Structure 1
């Protein structure tokens, strides 16, 4: 199963959320450019029709009898490319300027303009296009009454049409379109302008200038509202899929972990499903850490319960003995001999001494388990010189990361344990292995029975309770070793007698 990092999921979702509106804006811009190009194509078709009618009328009037003026035999028919205008790249010019002039238009062009005026006026009403027809000098011969007889400004870029090439431009509207009640414009405030030269027999006879506002994008979108509803449905489906993906990869796993954590808090056993796989690496790692924590808490809880039971048992026996001795002395003290009273008092003192040893051992164990790791270090040679019947060899001068007091306490418990089991000689061998110092403490005592090997580190386990053993020594030694990021373990022996414990401590 493919698993993602939580950071990757969140970044991906954020990018999608960011891209969706940007993509929508870009699509609207592209659609608006498409509307402009559509308007351009329509104006070009209308202009071609006007030019065809103009040329036909011109030929009918002249019947090739008039000598053309300003011959331009090299001028050829100009054609616009299929789409020249683009909202993102095309320069937007100011509104078309027409100015008053004292010049008179070409008579033939003026006559043709009068003949075409009714047709062009009706076409303008139907198509919402503004159509100017001018002679070869830019004097308007067909237009509304406000522009008729005027001239296209000499400085206007559209005048390049009289040099032969067709012109296609975007211009600002001369009058801004007011906004509607809902805040959207019914038509665009840009104007598409097409200027086409009228060429006949290689001579430029005039020009046709057509301009019209393209449809407002909101008007066009309203016309395609059903298609937009389908697109909105697709976007909604994408958002739902994103939400489902986020829920399955982030929200649901975290809720699942929260429920399992609640079960752990209530003390439930085996709450985490080992076979469940989370889709994000961080959540999967979090689940593993929570499971490890839950297992550790369960082990700790079990340890505390067992520990409390052992403590209760260990304290109950001497307390019961002391209580019994006190009751006997209270009831029969006058009937006892001095020797009998001393015997009972000796038992009380013995039980009190055991309670004291247990209390001291518990305090030492608690200190060992609750203490924090230290930066202190020492060498083995500084400790082993304090014990009799102990020989050492190996890396005794190698610094190790443990306080000398802790190392002394560990070795003291191991040596006392060996002496309790009849050891006469104790050997300490030390070697460096993988950035750790391995210290093996071997004795020649009676050894540990097979049935007791798995119990030697359990608190209060001892076979020498009658001799004053508390069963806490090895537990304290292991706790001190683990507090220093090391460990203490029992090693299997190949000989019939003797015991070996291996202490592992990191190098300083």
Structure 2
């Protein structure tokens, strides 16, 4: 009862448009969800690399020979703007994808201070890499690899290292040449064949002394979906709930009212039944159809009563002259020796009754023609609604 009282009046085209629009947009929503979710996984991977390099560079700065790194005071930490979180910068839709990282070029001997720090930092880098699965490389201020993959070579010419040597942390997307698809559905993922590279400068006493370069493949799309399966399942339940709502909307607004009207139509055709009021949950066009059907049923009932009364009246009007004609004919047949004057009187009576019948027939034909030209009550009601709607 509460739903019926508060059900909004909707047009049939609004209901159908809502259902068709949702059906058309659902695949698009699914595609957008996959893209946004995958982009979130990539940015999350970048944030993890930023956090790793922030810790490693701070450790390297503290270990660097001659470093004057001191812990910040309470007043410094309370200064507005002291804490500045570094957000993710890459986006699968707009960030250009660079080729795979080229091999390290031949270079001279690395810086001695960087070598000393690298030897002490190597164990920390190895342990971190074992847990995070990231490739971690330490370079000196000339871009020469001190510790990690490509040791002894130089990567000073690649964009991310060049930016870090200039004092700016930088993240780039590169192709992963060592990637080989393992699952048939991996073509849906744009990031499966990519690798994220992040470089952060090691700043000692205001001078860039080295670079920490890390790289890792982003979290796989389908693995991420599996790990977030509960949240995604709740989203699927929400979509199914909305589809169920649309089904109820179509059922209450279209299907059930039409079935009810069809049943009432059969009952009225059989000579019984009454037209119910329009359902409050039906579409506006269905309510109008109920009203028009009610007007039509009322007009049919009124016409049926009129025909019954008219038939009774006509039968009475025809019965009297027909009885007179039959009586006069019987008398003429039974009394062949009737006087001419009396016979003429009976014949005049027959002629008068005949003229009376002819006049009744003429009046009936005139009445039928006039009734065919007279607009019905349903037509008048419809014209009134249309005129009021135009105003």
1:263 is aligned, of 246, 264, 267, to: 267
Instruction: Give the SS at the match of 2:235.
Output: helix
The Cα of 1:212 is off from its aligned counterpart by: 1.0
Q: Does residue 353 of structure 1 match 2:355?
A: yes
The alignment status of 1:196 with 2:200, answered yes or no, reads: yes
Query: Is 1:4 aligned to residue 6 of structure 2?
Result: no
Relative to structure 1, the CA distance from residue 357 to residue 260 in structure 2 (aligned partners, 3 Å threshold; closer, same or farther) is same
Distance 2:317 2:256 in 1: 49
Instruction: Give the aligned CA root-mean-square deviation in angstroms.
Output: 3.3
Contact 2:160 2:171 in 1 (8 A): no
More helix by share: 2
Q: Is the 8 A contact 1:3 1:281 kept in 2?
A: yes
Please state how far the C-alpha of 1:112 moved relative to its aligned partner.
4.5
Partner of 1:249: 253
- 1:141-180 correspondence to structure 2 within 5 Å: 141-144=146-149, 147-152=150-155, 154=157, 156-180=159-183
Q: What runs of 5+ residues in structure 1 fail to find an aligned partner?
A: 65-76, 372-478, 486-508
Q: Report how far residue 134 of structure 1 moved.
A: 1.4
Q: Is the 8 A contact 1:78 1:197 kept in 2?
A: no
2:88 corresponds, among 79, 83, 86, to 83
Q: Is the 8 A contact 1:97 1:156 kept in 2?
A: no
C-alpha distance 63-47 of structure 1, shift in aligned 2 (>3 A): closer
Matched, 1:342 2:347: no
Secondary structure at 1:335's aligned position in 2? Answer: coil
- Compared with structure 1, are the counterparts of its residues 313 and 41 closer, same or farther at alpha carbon in structure 2 (3 Å cutoff)? same
Q: How far apart are 1:22 and its partner, in Å?
A: 4.1
Which residue number in structure 1 is paired with residue 78 of structure 2?
A: none
Q: TM-score, normalised by structure 2?
A: 0.78
1:139 alignment partner in structure 2: 144
SS of 2:257's equivalent?
Answer: helix
| More relative contact order, 1 or 2 (CA 8 Å, 6+ apart) | 2
For the structure 1 residues 161 and 81, does the alpha-carbon distance in structure 2 shift closer, same or farther, using more than 3 Å as the test? same
The structural deviation recorded for 1:53 is 4.1
Q: Specify the alignment match of 1:446 in structure 2.
A: none
Q: Kindly tell me: are residues 275 and 281 of structure 1, through their superposed partners in 2, closer, same or farther at Cα, counting changes over 3 Å? A: closer
Q: Which structure has more strand as a fraction of its residues?
A: 1
In the TM superposition, what is the alpha-carbon distance from 1:220 to its structure 2 partner? 0.9
For residues 149 and 309 of structure 1, do their structure 2 counterparts lie closer, same or farther at Cα, with a shift above 3 Å needed? farther
Give 1:166 deviation, angstroms: 0.9
- SS of equivalent residue, structure 1 residue 178: coil
Match of 1:280 among 258, 280, 283: 283
Give me the whole-angstrom Cα distance separating, in 1, the residues matched to 2:92 and 2:261. Answer: 53
Contact preservation (8 Å) 2:49, 2:214 = yes
Bigger mean CA offset, 273-282 vs 122-131: 273-282
Pairing of 1:367-386 with structure 2 (within 5 A): 367-371=369-373
1:216 is aligned to 220
CA contact (8 A) 1:133 1:143 kept: yes
Runs of 4 or more, structure 1, over 6 Å off, are 77-80, 184-187
Which residue number corresponds to residue 364 of structure 1? 366
Q: Deviations over 1:332-379 (max 9, x none)?
A: 2323222222222222211211221122222222222235xxxxxxxx
Q: How many equivalent residue pairs?
A: 357
Cα distance between partner residues in 1 of 2:99 and 2:186: 25
Structure 2: how far apart are the matches of 1:110 and 1:295? 102
> Quick one: structure 1 residues 221 and 365, their matched pair in 2 at CA, closer, same or farther if it must change by over 3 Å?
same
Tell me which residue corresponds to 1:94: 99
**C-alpha contact 1:178 1:185 (8 A) present in aligned 2:** no
Distance across 1 between alignment mates of 2:116 and 2:48: 27
Per the alignment, residue 505 of structure 1 pairs with none
**Any idea what the Cα deviations from partners look like across 1:116-149, whole Å, max 9, x if unmatched?**
55553454343221222212121223233xx333
Corresponding residue SS for 1:133: strand
Q: Which residue of 2 aligns with 1:109?
A: 114
**Do the aligned partners of residues 177 and 318 (structure 1) sit closer, same or farther apart at CA in structure 2, a change above 3 Å counting?**
farther
TM-score by length of 1: 0.62
1:31 is displaced (CA, Å) by 2.8
Aligned counterpart for 2:292 among listed residues 289, 305, 309: 289
Q: Which residue of 2 aligns with 1:309?
A: 312
Distance between the aligned counterparts of 2:181 and 2:156, measured in 1?
28
SS across alignment from 2:202: strand
C-alpha contact (below 8 Å) 2:199/2:214 kept by paired residues: yes
Q: 1:309 to 1:183 in 2, by over 3 A?
A: farther
In the alignment, the residues of structure 2 paired with residue 301 and residue 63 of structure 1 have an alpha-carbon distance, to the nearest angstrom, of 109
Q: CA deviation at 1:196?
A: 0.5
CA drift of 1:183 comes to 5.1
Unaligned 5+ segments in structure 2 are 1-5, 69-81, 381-391
